[in-house]
Amino acid sequence: MNWEHRKYRPLGAYSQSKLANLLFTVELQRQLTDSGSAVRAVAAHPGVAHTNLISHVGGFRGAANKLLLAPITQDGQHGALPTLYATTQDIPGGSYVGPDGLIHTKGYPEMAKPSRASRNADLARSLWATSARLTRTDFPVPATV
């Protein structure tokens, strides 16, 4: 964790953070279900939305990113659609919503299949416990919400 014992790779760290998001959703939904709560935890991703997120990357790398990513990006409004769908539709807890288009980088919202690693309940519990320990924070899920 935290790239303390290996060389930091920005794309690897980004990918790992997205896996952690899905694992947290899995564990939160498990805890909500176990507590009898009707609240649902769902995850959504915007695909590759053309926003200012990578605008700080300059030089050759920045120009290459813009050129190479252009065919698979969508505007910010379309990037927001999966999140809007996840929050307004009656979908099961633990669901994952993303774009339906080419390699799931753009398009309209659909229920997506998360990676096998992100569905690992033991890994989700472990990440939750490790995060609580590292932040010295307990994340209690109320019995009824």
* Cβ atoms of 46 and 82 closer than 8 Å: yes
- Catalytic residue among 14, 85, 96, 108, which? 14
C-beta neighbour count of 87 within 10 angstroms: 11
Burial (CB count within 10 angstroms: exposed 0-12, middle 13-18, buried 19+), residue 28: buried
Q: In whole angstroms, what is the distance from residue 98 CA to residue 34 CA? A: 27
What three-state secondary structure class fits 86? helix
Active site residue 14: yes
Q: Look up residue 140 and give its DSSP letter.
A: P
Catalytically active residues are: 14
